Structure 1
Amino acid sequence: MRVVPLTPDLWPALEALFGKQGACMGCWCMYWRLPRKDWDAARGAKAKAMFKRRVAQDAPPGVLAFDGDVAVGWLQIGPRADTPQWNGARRVSAPMHDADVADERIWAATCFYVKSSARGQGVMDALLAGALKFAKKNGARVVEACPIDGRASAGAAYVGRVTTFERAGFKEIARRKENRPLMRLTLKR
């Protein structure tokens, strides 16, 4: 399995992975990027167009996992500032310190999508390993995540699973909800 940053030339692979609906009810990885009322209005085709522009104009917003030439998984990762809704003060994923949002070296691994036929084959682990290399190469000092702890459907586990992050060396730094720890991995001191 190979994991690479999502660049404009790989858009067709992401589009094929997400399918017509855009993964997760038309999200197109805009849920954490838009205020809720804007996201509700954008779901589907508008969200797709917004995310496609984002991929074309900015640094890669995450990584794709490939099995041969077929994309089988996606992980959105980047500076916390890129996903303002993930930083909401009442969210379980809220930063420990307000200044963390503006620090371009503090990144967030916000959401996974794994093709149903590839689940249970280590795709999340591969995505996270590739994403951490990508983050370190691009100046991240810290990566945070807020995964599911315990049993959950594949849909509910779009934020990742605690065990995946533990295997990668993440440590719990807060728990604001019983099954959703905020976890952190320090890449550089």
Structure 2
Amino acid sequence: MTIDVRPASVFEDVRAVLGPKSPTAKVCWCLSHRIPSKLNNELRGPARGEYVAGLCDADPPPGVLAHDGDEPVGWAAVAPRSETSFARNRRIPHVDDLPVWSLWCIRVRPGHRKRGISHALIAGAVAFAREHGAPAIEAYPLDNGDAKVDLTMAYAGIRKNFERAGFVHAADTTSVLAGHPRILMRLDLRPES
């Protein structure tokens, strides 16, 4: 298996990973931290997918996708923090004034888990942010230790996977997800002087 991580610019591939089985279902589509809550609540059914299709046409697209051959098998949401709800989130602090990027959602399709895809997605998101000039990238994973995490709520990622990718603990947060505290982890992307 060779996993290739690419920008999420093909809507059909994004839909394969994030979209609902029923077009009228209200699924996240990874919009809840990307758009204002009022708009997030107004978008229903197919309108959510249509909104994401527009994001896929934007530059930069809304994240990265992992592919196993031609099959999309995973997703990571990554964007400038200033363009997300994390810009105003009081539970997740700002470490400094750098125009950091946020990596806040990692999803691997059922049937493809436990194959290292989340690691490839983190590396791909880091490369994507670096290519778009990010001086640093942040994530807000669960600090779960050895405790099991409900897969539905594991979208934020887990601390050890980000540590393996070189991220370091930058701050504690007051955010809790699925009973686990979240921490702010950061990877500096600036060239060494």
TM-score range relative to shorter protein: 0.7 to 0.9
Residue 82 of structure 2: aligned partner: 81
Farther off after superposition, 116-125 or 45-54: 45-54
Superposed counterparts of 1:96-175, under 5 Å: 96-97=95-96, 99-100=97-98, 103=99, 106-150=100-144, 151-175=148-172
Q: 1:25 deviation in Å? A: 5.4
TM value normalised by structure 1: 0.86
Q: CA separation in 2, counterparts of 1:162 and 1:58? A: 30
Residue 177 of structure 2: aligned partner: none
Identity of paired residues, percent? Answer: 36
Farther off after superposition, 13-22 or 70-79: 13-22
SS in 2 for 1:4: strand
Cα 1:16–1:31 change in 2 (3 A) is same
Considering only aligned residues, what root-mean-square deviation do their CA atoms show, in Å? Answer: 2.0
Normalized per residue, the structure richer in helix is 1
Q: CA separation in 1, counterparts of 2:5 and 2:44? A: 27
- For structure 2, the 5+ residue unaligned runs are 175-179
TM value normalised by structure 2: 0.84
Q: CA separation in 2, counterparts of 1:162 and 1:25? A: 29
Whether the 8 Å contact between 1:145 and 1:184 is mirrored in structure 2 is: yes
Aligned residue pairs: how many? 179
Specify the code of the residue in structure 2 equivalent to 1:65.
A
Superposed counterparts of 1:11-90, under 5 Å: 11-21=11-21, 26-83=27-84, 85-90=85-90
